[in-house]
Structure 1
Amino acid sequence: MVTFISLLTFLAFYLSYGTSKKMAAVGNLGLEKWSGEHKKPSQLASLALMIFSLGLSCFFWGVGSGTFTFFILLMTVASLVILLAPLRLLNYRFLGILFICSILFETILF
């Protein structure tokens, strides 16, 4: 569940990051081109994913802890996207390995 919330938060922030004018569209994930061409639907989809992720976080951990955890997760994901996207390190292979390891650690440790 934590991995799913993290994935939704990542997708939400990456969609909103793709609508930025300062972002150089690299095209590694394919979302960059679509979000650059369709700014309004991309922003609405990003907002919907963030609200859904916040709701899942509040459902999973409670209102106070869930909100706090969501914002910490959002800050972490945002920092990683802003640092790694210009270096072209965000691709399907890297994200797949990251989330598979996250799912394995989540099932083994929890």
Structure 2
Amino acid sequence: MVTVISLLTFIAFYLLYGTSKKMATIGGLGLEKWTGEHKKTAQYISLALMILSLGLSCFYWGLGSGTFTFSILLMTVASLVILLTPLQLLNYRFLGILFLCSIVFETLLF
């Protein structure tokens, strides 16, 4: 469940980051061109995914802890996206390995 919340938060922030005017459109995920052409749609989808992620985290951890955990997760994901996107380190292979390891660790440890 934590991996799903993290993935939704990542996708939501990356879509929102893609609609920014300061972002260079040299990303490796392929969403950059679409978000540049459909800014309003991408912003609405991003907002919906953020609300869904916040709702899931409040459902999983409770209202206070879920909101706090979501804000920490959002800050962490936002920092990583802003740092790693210009270096072109965010690609499908890296994200796949990261989330596969996260699912394995979540299953084995929790």
TM-score, scaled to structure 2 = 0.99
- 1:75 CA drift (Å): 0.1
- 1:21 CA drift (Å): 0.5
1:80 maps to 80
2:76 matches 1:51: no
2:67 maps to 67
Q: Which structure 2 segments of 5+ residues have no match?
A: none
Q: What is the RMSD computed on CA atoms of the aligned residues?
A: 0.5
Once the two structures are superposed, what CA deviation does each residue of 1:46-101 show, in whole Å capped at 9, x if it has no partner? 00000000000000000000000000000000000000000000000000000000
Q: Distance in 2 between matches of 1:26 and 1:91?
A: 11
Count of residue pairs brought into register by the alignment? 110
- 1:27 CA drift (Å): 3.7
2:32 matches 1:4: no
The one-letter code of the counterpart of 1:4 is: V
Q: Distance in 1 between matches of 2:59 and 2:5?
A: 11
Q: Distance in 2 between matches of 1:27 and 1:72?
A: 25
Q: Distance in 2 between matches of 1:42 and 1:51?
A: 14
- Report if aligned partners of 1:15, 1:42 keep a CA contact under 8 Å in 2: yes
2:89 maps to 89
Identity of aligned residues (%): 82
- 1:30 CA drift (Å): 1.1
TM-score, scaled to structure 1 = 0.99
